Amino acid sequence: MKPQKEPIHINAKKGEIAEVVLMPGDPLRAKYIAEKFLFDAKLVTSVRNMLGYTGYYKGNRITVMGSGMGLPSMGIYCFELFYYYNVQKIIRVGTCGVVNPIVKIPEIIVADKVWSESTFAYSYNGFTGHVVTPSMNLTNKIVQRAKESNQPIHIGSIMTTEVFGPYVNDEAIVERSPKELNVLGEEMEAFALIHVANSFKREAAAIVTAVDSKFSDKILSIEDREKSLDEMIKLGLDALI
């Protein structure tokens, strides 16, 4: 079945969305990024309050837009961006829970593999695998930008869950993950983004900041949380240009 002629969940006009997109989960974080980091940012879509802005970062045209929470929501928005707006690159910037004690709060993880036991990919197009690989071109650019700015990062696997880890027995999910992946963090959107992008033969990558950990009692202040997320956001923006 072919999708209808016009998108259902994005009301931007053709040409209002850039070829490269930075995608946080929270639409209000998209607003924050647009106001703090973009020049001449304009709201281009607001269906269901999923805000998207297009502006300029260091002279380069960029769109920043929320994805919502979970694989289905991410799947909807990234599909429409790729299919209807011919977006070429998307980097997810989000938060994660720590599942490996080598990661401390608020350190950054750049994903080189994403595992999920979800059936999202099978439902989407019959893909039976459970591990997807981000664009190494984009991923390597993120890593290079981190080196240039002396920003410490972890490079490794993350897992995308269908449930919010702190509310369930996430240790059982980690136990079911392939041991060779040595999963570092858990979140809820990256697998969908990477799979849809790979299916379109477009580029996508994922960066996440650790904000909670069962291995630590550390709680970030509002200021510390904002600073750590800003560092991740700048990595994503710089990699997209």
Residues designated as active site: 212
First to last CA, the chain: 35
Residue 56 region, left (φ>0) first, then alpha (ψ -120 to 50), else beta?
A: beta
220-228 long-range contacts (CB < 8 A, ≥24 apart) are 220/105, 220/106, 224/106, 225/106, 228/106, 228/108
| Residue 231, both tokens | 């560092």
What is the sign of the dihedral through the CA atoms of 96, 227, 75 and 163? positive
Please choose, from the candidates 63, 69, 107, the residue with its C-alpha nearest in 3D space to the C-alpha of residue 189. 69
